[in-house]
Amino acid sequence: MSKINYQNKNNQRALLSLVAIVNHRLQISVIFVFSIFIFPLVGMLAQDSGTSKTVNSKITTRNDLQHGPVATIVNSRYSFFRFHTGNISTNQSQIIMLQEEIHTEKYLDIPSQESMVKTKAWIGTDANTDKYVWTIEAEGNVASITDRYYKVTKYGCCDAEATHTYFNIMTGKKVYISTSNMISIFVPNAPADIDRYVTYFSNNGSIQMKEFSSNKNVIGIIQYGSETKTSTKVLVRVNNDNYLDMYSPVLLAQHQGKLDEFNELILWGSNGNTHADTLSNFTLNFEYYGMFEISIPVEKDVLMLNKAKSPPFVVLEVVE
């Protein structure tokens, strides 16, 4: 009798082990099914199709009888980033996708290089950046996003200064052209359209402007305005031949006795003010490397040329 009980217990143990093995294998099978079929399906449901585009780069070389080896290069790339529209109350933003092509004619044996930048932009509120907004074609060797602009730079050759063309990132409209640093003037906690920008374009730029050919003795053009338009252009004219060939000055902004740092002036005293009149009580300085200096006060968003300080041979003139 005890032998039979012993055998029954062994049979029960074997049965329980078999059940445990089957249970374990069923669990593994369920996990396998979820891993192979269910989880990817859940991942697919959690994602939405975005935008897919392709662009190619290429190079073509040849031997020029006069200039030696020449390469025609097209370098292409995409950029993808978020951009705040500037509405402080809603904190709205757009996602922008850029397709950039830099076309370069490169001569290996002479210091000459001709380049054009062609960029297309699409926007959206998520990964579906499928709304076409603008195309830019501009002289330049490189391009980048700078503050609220798409900046195209054409390098200088010989004595020419590098020239930067600033396009509004949302519209593709050209706003500024510059050979100097750009100063940004910000009002904290205010919409972006209250911010102001200042830059300078010299007559030694790698790109020329009509104002130099149509006006005598102009060495540069001061530009002041918002992110969407240049509201004021000031010709810097000299009546002294010794100063006709001046390069770009260093731009600085001064507020409450302090000079700006990192090309940025923040008007904390106007925090949250949305009216253009708040853009007051600061001065724009243009330092021509120890040769001379121009100082222009700004009051209620207006460059006060009647209060400007400059040498007697300098004439400042607003131009449309």
Dihedral sign for Cα atoms in the order 128, 130, 135, 141:
positive
pLDDT band at 12 (very low <50, low <70, confident <90, very high): low
Strands (DSSP E) along the chain, which ranges?
58-64, 68-84, 93-107, 113-124, 131-139, 142-146, 149-154, 163-168, 174-178, 183-186, 196-202, 218-225, 230-238, 250-255, 258-259, 264-266, 282-287, 293-299, 302-303, 314-319
Looking at residue 27, its pLDDT comes to 55
Q: What mean pLDDT is predicted for residues 118-138? A: 92
Looking at residue 6, its pLDDT comes to 46
| 132, pLDDT greater than 80 | yes
pLDDT band at 3 (very low <50, low <70, confident <90, very high): very low
Please state which of the ranges 14-28, 160-174, 279-293, 303-317 shows the lowest mean pLDDT.
14-28
Please state which of the ranges 17-21, 76-80, 258-262 shows the lowest mean pLDDT.
17-21
β-strand 163-168 against 149-154: which pairing, if any?
antiparallel
| 139, pLDDT greater than 90 | yes
Looking at residue 37, its pLDDT comes to 54
**Per residue in 272-318, pLDDT tens?**
888 888 999 999 999 998 899 999 999 999 999 999 999 999 999 99
